[in-house]
A and B are shown apart, each in its own frame.
Chain A
Amino acid sequence: MKKSFLTFWAMLISLLAMAQTQTSRITGKVVDVFSNKSVANVRVQLLPAGIEAISNENGEFSLKDVPYGKYNIQYSGEGLVTVTRNIQVSSPDITLGSIPLSQSTGDIATIADDVVPSITTDDEGSGQDNSGDNNISGVLSASRDVYVNTASFTFGQARFRTRGYDADNYVVMINGIPMNELDNNEVYWSNWGGLNDMFRFRDNTYGLEAANYAFGEIGGASNTDATAIRQRKQFRASYAFSNRSYQHRVMATYSSGILKKGWAFSASASYRGANRSYIPGTFYDSWAYFLGASKKIGDKHVISLTAFGVPTRRGKSSPAVQEMYDIAGTNFYNPVWGYQEGKVRNSRVFKSHQPTFIFSHEYKIDKTSTLNTAVAYQFGETSNSGLNWYNAPNPNPDYYRNLPSNQADSGLAAQIYDLYSSSEAARQMNWAGFYEINNNSQDTIYNANGVDGNTVTGKRSRYVVEERVVRSNEFSFNTYYNKVFAKKVEFTAGLNYRFNRAQNFKRINDLLGGDFFVDLNQFAELAFRDSVTNQNNLATPNRILKEGDMYGYNYFYTHHKAGAWAQAKVNLKKVDFFVSAALNFTAYWRTGMWQTGLFPNDSKGRSETFTFLNPAVKGGVTYKINGRNYIYANGSFLTRAPYIFNVFLSPNTRNQTAANVVNEQIGGVEGGYVLNTPKVKLKATGYWTRFLNGTETKRYWHDQYNSNVNQTMTNIDREYFGGEFGVEGNIYKGFGMNAVVGIGKGRYIDRPNVTVTSDNTAEILLDNETVYFKNFYAAAGPQWANTVGIFYNSPKFWFVRLNASWFDWIYVEANPIRRTATAVEGLEQGSDQYDAIINQERLPGQFIMDIFGGYSWRLNNTFKKMKGGSKYINFTLSINNLLNNTKFRTNGFEQLRFDFTDRNPNKFANKYFYNYGINAFINVTYRM
């Protein structure tokens, strides 16, 4: 015993002795964080040991004879931000590589981000505002597919994306005319919300199935036939009450059915409104109108004219960091509104009215062939309002600098916490403050409007409400010919063309008590102190702006898209198969209307024309085991032109585009099994899809550069694969159950490149850096959704369904900058700080319960003396989130700004969207 005891101690002592005498040499190189140039005379110290070195002209330094141990390594230098890191010294030679340091802005720091408003397009997440109860899932509802039907119905509230795909992968058509926006292929439901009654006849295809009216997109397609002739004779009037995005909905619809002489008419109108929607500060104010007329000409022709529009105003919400949700005491805190004279005023108002006119012609050539043609014209304006400010404090109540977590002193942090948590007005916008500042802001503008000697004096608004407007005109044409041969082969071929010219500009909506605003580019003003570079329009410098005036930027996007496609479907006894092919041609360009001071040679006039030729093929086979069981497999490969939104780096200021503008390649396969019996319906599918060589641009405000900054990722490769399972069965008499699972992973499978440019200069801030994104999640929202439900359909015309759902695998959208070598330079792999920077936050899984029920009351049964056909009153009630789970974050995103100075990922913390708590929708419809 004693011997081993002594031996142990001897070994220990000798180990310690070794450790004490072991020293290391640490080398590294100090560089500037953005230019990568070496920095000399940087003092590198090991604390508390006190060993130090100074970097030479090449930025190199070497710390010698450093005893093993744990230290803080500190880098300091004149005009540089001092950086301190942990370092574990346990090997004889340590190479730290390049250590990026940033310029100190110190106590004379630039003041820009306060003075200049931030652009919030991507921080908000495009389209991700809590609007409408019919969101993306609208395309898929009313499908007979057991998976799709339930997925859209139950999973929609959790912002579940089928297969994890982004919203640009579904084509939505009305009367054969695609409704997807040309510049990013997304669908804006606000253009026809409130017209549900007219859009009931929908032909949906999901995934890679063959459609009859178009080649389709990788996620699916739908076409709604809203022609008057298709509607049967009816009259409906309904009233709905809800606490979601709108409170009241009134809708009335009339269809004549086919009348004498072959006419048919339809009309529908609705109003949806809420003084306050579910989230505080939001409101809803939307009308909708629809008129349709059809005429049958002989036996073979039907012509229809359909017109509809949805003039809408909506107050939006914006996601916030968790710290603000906690301070406000609610996960529905909304920073974009404030009180004005006791009333709620929202600064982010969405307005839209884009009337659509479709003329369609159905030609039944003979019993087996038809020709459908549609021509459409759509025009109108969509705008989003927001605050703009000039040389004034940042008005956002959740501005990161004002948050308690950003204060150096804990006492002051506590005081701010107390103020914000106790006073609602303090954490919302201070409208009265804007009016007061504008009122006191007497200023004189010399050479106003570019006229020498024209001096304008008055109250110069420091805060205004502006609207960012898109005014567009679109013309579409689509024709397709369908012929069935011998009842077995269906052949379709089509031609389509779309032309869109959209003007992008902004205008002053409200001067907030001031007399005028001035058209100047604040980003440029802070960088270049002359009176030419800061002009937005050199033709009229120093322009005095009144309410309604256009300013800031003014350019057109012109888009042409033409396509041809053909498809053959063969139905044999045991096997169905199809093959389709398409060829699309896209051309687009930007035309700037104003010559800006920042880019006098590149802003006005037409950019280069981009053209793309995109082939696509699709095919599939279904094997019918018997009438009830079949298995199928489909595959598709296509290329897709990059969206104009991603190609122009800074369309507000210039014609410059991403360096490499290439087509995206998309390929996918799916396969599955379907069981269709009267009692049980089952579908099980597996899918695998890849998107290669994608391009994406995000925009945000960067206060170190006093400028709006564009982050363009290229060579994006993504893979989505997973499975879908749905089963629904009648158990006994009216009872049934359903269960649906959608599970998948959407990830980056390789390392894209990112280039960051500034609106201020043509300088490249980060040039083609590799983003170490492999296996990070690209899909937003829950990637694993499950629901189990029971339902009862009573023979007495009422039904009820109860569903319990679980959503999981929710990852926040990742910021590529955080996964570059620059972001983690000098940090030890696996250290806490390194991990905090690169890890993609996963949000906890959540449980939701929903109930949906209805009753159909045939009035004739009660009032037996009623004449003239059946009259019904339908009641439906749906209550979502029965258990009032207010902790459900359906999505989140990392802010695009990253704190390079201290590498603290929580300085610009993640922002989250919370699902509504318990919410209900009650509808009463009278129909006859």
Chain B
Amino acid sequence: MKSIASKISALLMLVVTLGSTGCIQDRFDQPPVNGSDPNITPTHSIADIKAMYSGTSVEFTDSMIISGIVNADDKSGNFYKVITMQDQSAGIAIRVDGNSLFNNYPVGRRIYIKLQGLVMGEYNGLIQLGGARTSGSTTEVEPIPQPLLDNFIIKGSLNNPLTPQVVTIGQLNNSMQNMLIRLDSVQFSAGDTNKTYANAVTQQSVNLTVQNCTQQSVILRNSGYADFAADKVPDGRGSLTAIYSVFGTDKQFLIRNTDDVQFTGPRCGSSGAPGTLIAIRDLRAMYTGSATAAPAGRKIKGTVISDRTANNLVSQNVIIQDATGGITVRFGGSHSLSLGQEVEIPLDGGTLTLYAQLMQLENMSASNVTVLGVNPVTPRVATIQQINDSISKWESTLVRINNATVTPGPTFGSSSGNQSMNDGTGSITLYTRAAATFASGAVPAGPATITGVVGRFNSTRQIQMRNASDVQ
């Protein structure tokens, strides 16, 4: 037994001593990671290089170096097979046949491009660098294949800050291609506010319209492959930070991710207070029978159907109409709202009352009103009988009566302004203030088309014209 045991242990020792070769390919030294800029000085600025392009692709045969900071990467998927970078002078795109480029060339990395051997061309007006000329084209270039990237692109330090250039839409021009630009006070057009950034289902790219408050617009183009493609776009107004690009005559922007879209403020023309819109009809329905406070946090939006310049109503009043109805609004003093303007009026502080049976919204402040634009109202064509039947529903709205005969005359202002109008279905008072500019005008001789606002004065039902053109 002993001899066997000793023989076995001798055997094991023999094997161990002869066989120890250490750990083969087991422990590896970790490579150091480089974070600093290499000692390279660029020979040209990006603008210098772009200036060399004059319509046909250029091949760089001399040793030239440009340097810039990467301003967009493909991390979100909105960019594809391209590196865009900029220096102080300009920006440029480099076509690369590779994916997940953000791993090596993230936004903020300084890179140096050794131009010798590369070519510069364009794609529908957008200047880009590539690895070779595209055969059959005088302007297009092929992307640089992934294995060759280290031959042409030297990686520098990371997290370099990029300051976007702040410009207006009108200032955009071709020299800003592939630079990081910021537009302030812009929003998506009203039609685009219900959309998503792109079509994530079919993975198709979508062009959205970004506009400022003076109706100038540009395209925001988003890829269906972006990870934010299915996100809904914000409907506010604010700043857009993105890469400026061109496609033929189109001016377009490309965002890196949705952080570039900061549309958090109110849209063009909307009032300071957010407020929820309510229909004028709903506001009228809130009247309780005695003075009623208008709901706070609400606003109405409608078109001005009264004409202060013709003076057929007191200067503190304005009549507003929306799709659901109309209302007379009374301010503390005169206002400057014009016929046809679309306005938004926050209701906070207002009171609904009846003035000689005409409902009014009082205690309003003209300075709170926001003018949105111009949006004229088409008058409702009706018979006098219909108007009399709907006098409450149609109060403070615009109507048009055909074949109306005004009696007795001779002027609109006669009989203290109370003329009678009849179209064969019934009659109604046509009231004109003495101060109205057309008060001394003659009433029409025969039947005419009269346009005016439906109103009441105690028990009298009446129509009030706005100006002389309301008689046809």
Q: Which residues of A are interface residues toward B (Cβ below 8 A)?
A: 107-111, 114-115, 235, 237, 239, 248, 250-254, 256, 259, 265, 267, 269-271, 273-275, 283-285, 287, 313, 315, 340-341, 343-346, 349, 391-394, 401-402, 407-409, 411-412, 415-416, 419-420, 426, 431-433, 435-437, 439-441, 462, 513, 529
Contact = CB atoms under 8 A, between A and B. Distances in A.
Given A283-B25, A315-B25, A462-B103, 12 more contacts: A250-B18, A252-B15, A254-B11, A267-B8, A340-B31, A393-B103, A409-B133, A409-B142, A412-B144, A412-B145, A415-B131, A416-B147
A491 B32 CA distance: 71
A269 B18 CA distance: 11
B391 interface: no
B8 A108 contact: no
A435 B25 CA distance: 18
Most buried by B among A256, A340, A440: A440
Contacts of B322: none
B158 interface: yes
Interface stretch (B224-232, B375-383, B393-401): B224-232
Contacts of A251: 15
B132 A411 contact: yes
A108 B151 contact: no
Given A269-B15, A431-B31, A248 B21 contact: yes
Interface residues of B, number: 55
Nearest to B23: A285
Contacts of A345: 25, 28
A250 B15 contact: yes
A401 B103 contact: no
A248 B22 CA distance: 13
A509 to B, nearest CB: 12
A529 B28 contact: no
B225 A436 contact: no
A254 B15 CA distance: 12
10 contacts: A107-B80, A108-B203, A114-B100, A237-B11, A265-B4, A269-B12, A285-B21, A415-B145, A416-B145, A440-B33
Contact of B30 (A109, A409, A435): A435
A108 B31 contact: no
Given A108-B80, A271-B18, A435 B33 contact: yes
A250 B13 CA distance: 12
B142 to A, nearest CB: 5
A462 B103 CA distance: 8
Interface string B200-213: 10010100000000
A237 B8 CA distance: 12
Contact of A420 (B18, B81, B147, B200): B147
A115 B117 CA distance: 29
Most buried by A among B8, B77, B81, B97: B8
A108 B15 contact: no
A340 B28 contact: yes
B258 to A, nearest CB: 14
Give me the 9 closest cross-chain CB pairs, A-B, nearest first: A271-B19, A114-B99, A409-B132, A341-B29, A111-B99, A250-B18, A439-B33, A269-B15, A432-B31
Contacts of B200: 529
Contacts of B445: none
A344 B117 CA distance: 33
Given A115-B99, A273-B19, A108 B148 contact: no
Interface of B: 4, 7-8, 11-12, 14-15, 18-21, 23-26, 28-31, 33-34, 77, 80-81, 97-101, 103-104, 106, 117, 131-135, 142, 144-148, 151, 158, 200, 203, 205, 223-225, 227, 229-230
A114 B98 contact: yes
Contacts of B144: 412
A254 B98 contact: no
A473 B225 CA distance: 46
A744 B23 CA distance: 45
A402 B145 contact: yes
Nearest to B101: A393
A419 B148 contact: yes
A402 B147 contact: yes
Nearest to B34: A436
Nearest to A402: B147
A287 B16 CA distance: 10
A275 B145 contact: no
Nearest to A109: B80
A271 B12 CA distance: 11
Given A416-B147, A435-B33, A408 B142 contact: yes
Nearest to A266: B8
A250 B19 contact: yes
Contact of B146 (A248, A393, A408, A415): A393
A412 B148 contact: yes
B97 to A, nearest CB: 7
A522 to B, nearest CB: 11
A607 to B, nearest CB: 33
Contact of A273 (B7, B24, B98, B131): B24
A268 to B, nearest CB: 8
Given A340-B31, A402-B147, A273 B21 contact: yes
A111 B147 contact: no
Given A108-B205, A273-B19, A411-B132, A254 B7 contact: yes
B224 A256 contact: no
Nearest to B204: A108
A436 B33 contact: yes
Given A248-B21, A252-B14, A273-B19, A340 B103 contact: no
B135 A275 contact: no
A846 B173 CA distance: 69
A501 B24 CA distance: 32
A285 B24 contact: yes
Contacts of B81: 107
Contacts of A408: 135, 142
B104 A437 contact: yes
A407 B148 CA distance: 12
A432 B34 CA distance: 10
Contacts of B33: 435-436, 439-440, 513
Contacts of B7: 235, 254
Contacts of B151: 415, 419
A420 B147 CA distance: 9
Contacts of A437: 103-104
Nearest to A112: B99
B4 A440 contact: no
A419 B21 CA distance: 36
A531 B24 CA distance: 41
Most buried by A among B19, B23, B97: B19
A478 to B, nearest CB: 29
A283 B25 CA distance: 8
B80 A111 contact: yes
A769 to B, nearest CB: 28
A721 B131 CA distance: 55
A838 to B, nearest CB: 31
A198 B223 CA distance: 67
Contacts of B34: 436
A340 B29 contact: yes
B25 A349 contact: yes
A808 B229 CA distance: 57
B15 A435 contact: no
Contact of A111 (B26, B100, B106, B158): B100
Contacts of B134: 409
A390 to B, nearest CB: 9
A108 B145 contact: no
Contacts of B97: 401
Contacts of A250: 14-15, 18-19
A108 B147 contact: no
Most buried by B among A254, A408, A409: A409
A529 B230 contact: yes
A579 to B, nearest CB: 46
Contacts of A392: 100, 103
B247 to A, nearest CB: 13
Given A252-B15, A265-B4, A437-B103, A416 B142 contact: no
